[in-house]
């Protein structure tokens, strides 16, 4: 039977997870009596844990007895009760369920994260009256005003930065003492919030920016749904 490769990941999680849960229920030895002798054993156990945890948050009420039987039968290479058409139709429906589940989970996570972020920003503003809100939705604080030319998109600039997880206070990345000042064309590539923010700055200035997660995107090292603090010192703007 031809594999539907676009669904391999989802099917592997959904079907194998159910199989492993049922298999674990029939195992006489308790987990604490299991010896993991080497790295392969440890990785195998970790995979089992991951699959079981996925199944516990299942997308559908699968019949675990049939899941296990199908899993074992396929491994043995036996003739299957589903023909290729029925198999592909079932795969497509499972993919639909997985996508629906992922959308619902993401929506719930975003709703919860927006409420948490709103509370964090309200607390921040109450503690520091010097923080202002920009029209684009981020917040900023002027630590030192510069008197050089203003940064614009496309200009080659030199700057230093420290970015911090707003919730934990953990430094995610920085240029100071690590990689040296950054020389870069403003906007290529940068996440949208930073492009907006740096255009407020003149050469010689130092600002602290507070970005909501919707303006950060997939910036390196930033956990999902996490607002970030960027402290930026704009050293120079070049005229080339």
Which tens digit of pLDDT belongs to each residue from 3-56? 444 444 454 554 454 444 445 444 445 666 788 888 888 888 887 676 556 555
What SS3 string covers 23-79? HHHHCCCCHHHCCCCCHHHHHHHHHHHHHHHHHHCCCCCCCHHHHHHHHHHHHHCCC
Residue 76's pLDDT band, with cuts at 50, 70 and 90, is confident
Can you give the pTM of this predicted structure? 0.62
The predicted model gives 52-71 an average pLDDT of 68
Report the alpha-carbon distance of residue 162 to residue 179 in Å, rounded.
12
pLDDT at 131 over 90: yes
Nearest alpha carbon to residue 194 among 167, 239, 234, 237? 234
Q: Which residues are registered as beta bridge partners of 184?
A: 157
Residue 115's pLDDT band, with cuts at 50, 70 and 90, is very high
pLDDT tens for each residue of 86-97? 888 988 888 888
pLDDT at 191 over 80: yes
Are residues 197 and 215 in contact, defined by beta-carbon separation less than 8 angstroms?
no
Residue 200's pLDDT band, with cuts at 50, 70 and 90, is very high
- Write phi, then psi, for 237 (nearest 5 degrees): -125, 125
Report the alpha-carbon distance of residue 131 to residue 210 in Å, rounded.
9
Count CB neighbours of 53 within 10 A.
10
Q: Which residue has the higher pLDDT, 207 or 71?
A: 207
Q: Residue 55: its pLDDT value, please?
A: 54
CB environment 4-25: b (16+ within 10 A), e (fewer): beebeebbebbbbbbbbbbeee
Q: Residue 103: its pLDDT value, please?
A: 86
């Amino acid at each position: 039977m031809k594999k539907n490769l676009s669904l391999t990941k989802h099917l592997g999680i959904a079907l194998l997870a159910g199989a492993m849960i049922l298999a674990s229920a029939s195992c006489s030895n308790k987990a604490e009596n299991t010896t993991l002798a080497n790295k392969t054993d440890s990785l195998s156990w970790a995979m089992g844990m991951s699959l079981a945890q996925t199944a516990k948050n299942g997308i559908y009420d699968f019949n675990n007895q049939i899941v296990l039987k199908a899993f074992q039968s396929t491994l043995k290479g036996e003739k299957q009760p589903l023909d290729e058409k029925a198999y592909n139709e079932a795969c497509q429906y499972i993919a639909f369920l997985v996508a629906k589940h992922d959308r619902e989970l993401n929506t719930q996570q975003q709703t919860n994260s927006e409420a948490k972020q709103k509370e964090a920003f309200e607390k921040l503003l109450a503690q520091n009256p010097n923080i202002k809100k920009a029209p684009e939705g981020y917040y900023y604080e002027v630590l030192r005003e510069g008197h050089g030319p203003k940064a614009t998109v496309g200009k080659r600039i030199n700057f230093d930065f420290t970015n911090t997880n707003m919730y934990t206070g953990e430094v995610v990345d920085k240029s100071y003492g690590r990689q040296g000042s950054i020389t870069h064309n403003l906007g290529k590539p940068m996440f949208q919030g930073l492009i907006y923010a740096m255009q407020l700055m003149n050469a010689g200035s130092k600002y602290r920016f507070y970005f909501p997660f919707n303006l950060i995107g997939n910036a390196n090292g930033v956990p999902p749904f996490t607002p970030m603090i960027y402290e930026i010192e704009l050293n120079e703007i070049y005229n080339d």
